[in-house]
Chains A and B, each alone.
Chain A
Amino acid sequence: MKWIAAALIGGSLLLPPFLAGDFYINLASQILIAAIFALSLNLLVGFGGMTSLGHASYLGVAAYLSALLTSQYGLGHGAAAIISISGTVAMAGFFGVIALRATGLGFLMITLALSQVLWGLAYRMSNVTNGDNGITGLTRPAPFGISLESPVSFYWFVLIITTTAFLMMTIFVSSAFGSSLKGVRDQPRRMAALGFNPWLIRWITFVYAGFWGGISGLLYVYYHKYIHPTSLSTTSSAEALLGVIAGGSGTLGGPAVGAALVLLLKNYASAYIERWNMLLGLVFLFIVLVMPTGIVPGFSRLTARLRGETR
């Protein structure tokens, strides 16, 4: 049953370029990018028990680095991508050392404070980041000489990376290391007594999540060809966190579904009303109060019950 569902979802991801118009293909690309971002946050929130409110830092920093390197310093996309991702990973390593001095709410507050500092920098260091105007006139890369300008080719590019990301993260949490991560989430003291190093396990996960956050940031800036400080804002982190929680934190595919729902909601709502932040806040309240375990676990519980009844 599970495999059929996975095959159906996987198969349906191949369809947009053949069936849909440019608008929907672009929307699908955005959903995939948001999915990578939410999945990387889920490594921390769901599997590591570390609720970060600063995950937008990695998306934003990778995007800004790539934007600056290609537009201001004239680097090629390959080199810029490598430098941006290395820079983001290094920053994640550093932030991890700071934030993991605390756990629980302390961790949340430190990640939030750190990301707000970066957001403030993006706004105020306007001679570098161009402040509130953002950086415009960016280009998409052309890997192996294939242009990614058309929505369809960009969609295939994003789909390949998303699939890789999903598989890599699935392997990560299914591995022995993933089990020790879940152990550290649930029983850090017992794990320490068994000879594991909870801090190191958390830190490695933190850096790995930062890496995939950076990848999603690169795709984000390639897609929009534009970058603005809002990509570093708490709203951006909160959208991803909402996706993770709405989809079901600690499940493999849930956050991707949640991220898709948040993005669709954002796109459709903003066509009718300007008050996205207020809606986001209301959805937060609704999800936490009404379905705290998320949509995907709730749905699979429902189907399990239905099947139980028909048998």
Chain B
Amino acid sequence: MQLAWPVFVAAFLASAVEFVEAFTIVLVVGITINWRSSLLGALLAAATLALIVGTLGVALVTYVPIGVLRLVVGIILILFGLKWLKKAILRYSKHKALHDEEAIYEEKVAELRARGETIQQIDTFGTVLSYKAVLLEGLEVAFIVITFGSSAMSNTCSSACGIGSATIGAAIAGVLVILLGALVRAPLTKVPENTLKFVVGLMLTTFGTFWAGEGFGIAWPFSDAFLFVLLAIYLLSSFILIAALGQHKQRQLATASTESIAIPQEEVHR
């Protein structure tokens, strides 16, 4: 088969960005929740994708409302992300209650992780998160392959040649991203639990804002590179919030210790 190099390179680069986005979510779910849930979500998404692409083929671009899908997934990711970010910020600033049921469960998870054991139970939250990210990004890759491939039709390259070249480019990008992810997986498991959850919260909020914005038709400056700008904005804001809440907690503790010293002295004077 003749390879249309411009289409191959364009599809490779564009798909690599989408694969990295999907793989980031799969990776963080695998590390923070468990790999079984993460991979189950990714496999279910891959099966759904295969079904959609197999049924619709090139007509996929016409029938799947990618804008609506981006909007829905984006909003859900913002909700998930803010929930995780809130908990992580409260823990960093020492405001999070230590003895609620959720905290006890999370402590057990952290304990198991520290011992090098993993929780094998399927976690719905993790599976759904992984599923949505892979499905959305997978659909975007399919869109890239079909649109880039179809637009490459010329006298020297047929539609099959264009789509074939784009498919090869996307497939190589996918394999490379998975290999790279497998390499960074091991060092990531050594990162402390709350740090990971903080990073996950940041990433989900960042991706969520980006996708929801795209769903509303916002053309982000610098395209996908704006993800880094969003991440920086949320990271900086989180640090400010942690510092402010941490200072408040310290003042609370200082007041409490002053009162506990003052009360016995008053009793002695009596």
Q: Do A and B bind each other?
A: no
